[in-house]
Amino acid sequence: MISKIIKPHLGLLIGLLVYAQFVRGAEEAAPLTPSKASTKLEISSDNWKADQKTGTYHYKKNVILKWGEVKVTANTLSRQINTQTQLEEIVAEGMPVVLTFTDPKTKKTVFARGQDFTFVTPNNHIILKNKASLTISQGETIETDIQARQIDLHLDGSKIDSVEAAGKPVRFSHQLVNGKRTQAQAQQLTLEYAAQKVHLIGAKVEQGTDTFKAESLYFDVLSGQLSASGEGENRPSMILDIPTNKPEKTKVDVIVPNNTESSMETHEPPVPPNTQGEENQL
């Protein structure tokens, strides 16, 4: 009797079990979620279609993705799910794709954009390409601004672990505590988010009227200190504006030798001999 009741509905029961397992797997595969209480991936769009055989989902027009504190807006978006029914990769395109993220600890807002967007969930890696930019703001103040051909965000759970940028050139700007801004150009940039340290390769940095160049340059965001290294023609150099008693300024180009400490000393000009006294004696 029981078998007669179950058999006609066996396909439906199996389908429900498979769907439940799919939902469970998708929720467990949410490494970007800022808290265990928020594990849902929400995607809305004007149109969408799904290919359950390949595990591919396509969304078009006014696409909005929400995942914890992360929000992404795009023109098109696709999701690729692997054979274990776990979210593997999200690819989006837009004019541009816009990502916003609020750090739950510091309350700072990360605003990133690019024409192409890829999010690989197993290693929490976000890639922004083509006219990519990233800003970090505290309230209405933009503290950090990065513009590059490609920007990679590496996440540790709900927090940004590091930011990498590449371009010709990468442009970097940061506002110091005293309100002054540091401007830089480089071939490559790495920002250690927690430590607030920036590493620039092929760098040119401007602080006020001073200019620093180096093959490898480190910038401490919190203290504003700079340190540089290089060899041969790529040795660090500085161009400093030194105020004098006269209205105009004198520029001094300082080249730092390898493995040596440089110092700048000020010497009084030599006093010419007093020849007037000798003439009087004659």
pLDDT per residue as tens digits for the range 43-86: 999 999 998 888 889 999 999 998 777 889 999 999 887 766 56
Q: Establish if 263 belongs to a structural domain.
A: no
Among 96-100, 203-207, 273-277, the minimum mean pLDDT is found in: 273-277
Give mean pLDDT, residues 171-175: 91
Residue 281 falls inside a structural domain: no
Q: Is 273 inside a domain boundary?
A: no
What the block records as the tokens of 117 is 């967007």
Residue tagged 């993705």 (tokens):
65
**Burial of 150 by CB count in 10 Å (0-12 exposed, 13-18 middle, 19+ buried)?**
middle
Contact 67, 33 (CB under 8 A): yes
Looking at the predicted structure, is the pLDDT value of residue 94 above 70? yes
Specify which residues 162 forms β-bridges with: 154, 192
pLDDT for the residue numbered 198: 93
Confidence band for 267, pLDDT divided at 50, 70 and 90: very low
Mean pLDDT of 25-31: 38
Does residue 11 register a pLDDT over 70?
A: no
Q: Is position 70 within any domain?
A: yes
- What does the DSSP 8-state code read for residue 180? -
**How many domains is the chain partitioned into structurally?**
1
Output the domain CATH number for residue 179.
2.60.450.10
Q: What percent of the chain has pLDDT over 70?
A: 69
Is residue 25 situated within a structural domain?
A: yes
pTM of the model: 0.68
* Three-class secondary structure of residue 6 per DSSP: helix
What local confidence, expressed as pLDDT, does residue 253 receive? 54
Q: Which of the two residues, 34 and 43, has the higher pLDDT score?
A: 43
Residue 247 has what DSSP assignment? S
Lowest mean pLDDT among 2-11, 100-109, 137-146, 197-206: 2-11
In this structure, the chain runs to a length of 282
Does 214 map to a domain?
yes
Cβ proximity of 246 and 217 under 8 Å = no
- Report the sign of the C-alpha dihedral through residues 44, 47, 51, 57, in that order: negative
Write out the residue range of the structural domain in which residue 20 sits: 2-258
Asked if the structure places residue 203 within a domain, the reply is yes
C-alpha 78/C-alpha 75 separation (Å) is 11
pLDDT of residue 173: 92
Residue 279 maps to a domain: no
